[in-house]
A = this chain, B = another copy of it.
C-alpha cells in the first residue's frame, strides 16, 4: 500500500509541543485577564445553522464561509445545512438572543475559540485562527463607562504577555461624525466614506486624505482643520483640549466629546498607565458596525504587525434575532496571527516547559522506586515524567534535552548505595547530590511552583 503524505491543510497553524506550550501560556494569560475583570466564559459550537449564520445576504464575507455537510446528506443530494463560524460576534449575537431570558445584563462574556475563513492561501493569512473576544452587552442601554474597562483589561493582558511596548489607540466615531455634520456633511453615506479615508491616513498620507476629503464634499478649510485635529500628537488631555476648542455645537459631536472625556477619566481611575493608551482620531475602523468608541492596539516597535487587538462600541448586537435592543462594546485579540508574527520576529515570550523533571531509568530493577519517587514528587506539586524504556543514560539525557526538560533525577545502584540522589540541571550543566529526604526541598529551590 503506498504511503499517504502526512500534511496539514494550507492556512492552518500547527505547532510543535514546545511552541504549543507558549501558545497555551498566552491563552492562559488572556483568559486569566478576562476573568480578573469579572467576565464569564462562553463557548459556542464550531458550526451554526446556515440560515442563522448568514443573516446578511451576499458580500465578501459569505464567499469566505466554509460549509459543512455529512456524507449522508451529500449522498441524499441535500444542500449544506451547516457553516463554520467566521467570527465570534455572530455566534455571540445568536447566543444572547437565544438565551436572553436566562442571562443577566449587562452580560459580560469572554470567548476564546477558533474561527474559519476560506481565505486565499498566502503567507500570514489563516483559514483557521484563534480569536479571544470580550464583550459587554447591555439591555436597552449600556453606560459609556464600560468603554474604558476593556482597554484596561487589554493593558493588563499585554503587559503580562511580555510582547514589548504597545499602545491602545482609541477614538470615538461620534466625534468625527459630529464634526463632519458641523462642517455641513450630513449625508450618512458620505460620512462613512470620509471616515474610511481618514482610517487610511497612516497608509496613504495627509495629502491624499485631504484630496479625498475635498472630493467627498468638505471645503478646503474644513478639511485642513480636520487633518490638523486628527494628526495631533499630544497626550489624551491635550487632544481632548484641542477638541474642546472646536466651535461645533452639533449634538453628536458633544456626545462623542463627553464620552471621550468620561473614558479618559475612567482610564485614570482604573490605574491604566498614561502611555499605554492614546486618543488617536485617525482611528476610525472601516466597519460601519461601530457607532462610538473604537480601538486598535499596536506593538510600538512593530507597527507592521497591524492592529493586534481591535474593537469598539456598537448600537445593537442581535437585531436579526430579537426585537430587544442590545447595545455593546467589545474587543478581540487575533492570537494566531499575533503568535505567528511574534515567532517570525523571534519575539515569543520565554515560557518554562510544563514538564519539569525527568526521572531517568538507570536500572530496570529499580523501576518500582522510580515510579514511587515520581508519585512523591507529583504529590509535592511537580510535573514529573518517568523514563520507562530501558536505555543508556546518554540516550535518556538526549531525550530530556530534545524535549527541553530542565532537570533530570538520577538514582542508580551507586546512588542507592551512597544514600544519595543526583539532580542534573541541563541548562546550567551542573549536577548536585542530595539525600533522598532533601530532594523535594532541593527541587523547590530550582523550580518555582
Interface residues of A (CB under 8 A from B): 1, 3-9, 12, 14-18, 20-21, 23-24, 35-49, 51-52, 55, 62-74, 80-82, 84, 93-95, 97-99, 102-106, 108-109, 114, 116, 118, 128, 138, 141-143, 145-146, 148-149, 152, 156, 265-266, 268-271, 318, 320-323, 354-355, 357-358, 367-369, 371-372, 374-375, 378, 383-386, 388-390, 399, 402-403, 405
Contacts and interface: CB of A to CB of B under 8 A. Distances in A.
A-B residue pairs, 6 tightest by C-beta: A38-B385, A70-B118, A269-B371, A269-B368, A17-B40, A12-B45
B45 A354 contact: no
Given A8-B48, A70-B64, A367-B269, A378 B20 contact: no
Contacts of A383: 35-38
A103 B40 contact: no
Contacts of A73: 118
Label chain A's interface by main secondary structure.
mixed
A374 to B, nearest CB: 7
**Which of A62, A116, A265, A269 lies at the interface centre, i.e. has the most chain B CB atoms within 10 A of its CB?**
A269
Contacts of A44: 8, 14
A403 B40 contact: yes
B8 A45 contact: yes
19 contacts: A3-B322, A6-B97, A8-B44, A12-B47, A16-B102, A24-B41, A35-B354, A35-B383, A38-B384, A38-B405, A40-B403, A67-B68, A68-B84, A143-B388, A143-B389, A145-B367, A269-B369, A269-B371, A270-B371
A308 to B, nearest CB: 20
Given A14-B95, A46-B128, A98-B7, A70 B74 contact: no
A47 to B, nearest CB: 6
Given A14-B45, A46-B84, A141-B389, 4 more contacts: A21-B40, A35-B383, A36-B383, A46-B46
Given A6-B98, A7-B49, A52-B4, A354 B266 contact: no
A72 B63 contact: yes
A104 B399 contact: yes
A265 B368 contact: yes
B65 A41 contact: no
Given A70-B64, A80-B69, A7 B320 contact: no
Nearest to A114: B46
